[in-house]
Structure 1
Amino acid sequence: MKLIRDFAVILTCLLVGKAVAALLPFAFPASIIGLLLLFTLLSTQLVRLEWIFAGGQLILRHMALLFIPVAAGLLSYADVLSRGLGFILLAATTGLVLILLLVGRLYQRLVS
């Protein structure tokens, strides 16, 4: 019964996110809106963490299985990915370095 409640709260946030995304005049991922809604509800304590904890743990435990279809779908685009591999690696490395520099700078400012 507890898992049903957990999934109902999470699913309700997702469905509200889908409704909001449909009303927006621009494209925005409904799942992100649903996550922001869930975060807001948790932050304001309108939804208690205990109400979604068990369901969230179950989803996290099986998350690797959810990525298998995506990985299999990417195999059909192997030629496109191999052509852009240099750019993908450059973008990932540049992003990583920028994030490390930014976090390091923020930490220095917070400590001093």
Structure 2
Amino acid sequence: MKLIRDFIILLACLLAGKGIAALLPFAFPGSIIGLLLLFLLLNFQLIPLPWVHDGGLLILRHMALLFIPVAAGLLGYVDVLSQGLGLIIGAAFSGLVLILLVVGRLYQRMQP
């Protein structure tokens, strides 16, 4: 019964986020809005954490299964991905280096 309550709360936040996204004049993912809504509800303690904890853990435990359809969909674009593979790897690596440099610099500035 507890997992049903957890999933109902998570689903309600998702559907509310999708509803808000439909009202916006620009395109924005409803799932992100739902996640922000859940964060705000938990942050302001309108929903206690134990109400969604077990359902969230169950979803996180099986998250790898949720990425299988995405990976299978990418197989249809192997030719496009292989053409830009160098660019993709270069962008990922340069982004990683940039993030490490910025975080390192901020850490150094925050130390007394």
Q: Is TM > 0.5 for Structure 1 vs Structure 2?
A: yes
Shift of 1:62: 0.5
Deviates more, 1:48-57 or 1:101-110: 101-110
Tell whether 2:29 aligns with 1:21: no
Report how many aligned residue pairs link the two structures: 112
What amino acid maps onto 1:19 in structure 2?
G
Write the mapping of 1:48-87 to structure 2, written as runs, cut at 5 A.
48-87=48-87
What percentage of residue pairs aligned between the two structures are identical? 73
Identify unmatched segments of 5+ residues in structure 2: none
Aligned counterparts of 1:27 and 1:52: Cα–Cα separation in 2: 28
Aligned counterparts of 2:111 and 2:39: Cα–Cα separation in 1: 28
Q: What residue in structure 1 maps to residue 39 of structure 2?
A: 39
What amino acid maps onto 2:54 in structure 1?
A
Aligned counterparts of 1:79 and 1:106: Cα–Cα separation in 2: 40
TM-score by length of 2: 0.96
Aligned counterparts of 1:62 and 1:38: Cα–Cα separation in 2: 20
Write the mapping of 1:85-96 to structure 2, written as runs, cut at 5 A.
85-96=85-96
Shift of 1:109: 2.1
Shift of 1:25: 0.4
Shift of 1:101: 1.1
TM-score by length of 1: 0.96
What amino acid maps onto 2:89 in structure 1?
L
Aligned counterparts of 2:105 and 2:46: Cα–Cα separation in 1: 35
Aligned counterparts of 2:18 and 2:26: Cα–Cα separation in 1: 13
Runs of 4+ in 1 over 6 A off after TM superposition: none
What amino acid maps onto 2:2 in structure 1?
K
Aligned counterparts of 1:44 and 1:111: Cα–Cα separation in 2: 31
Q: What residue in structure 1 maps to residue 98 of structure 2?
A: 98
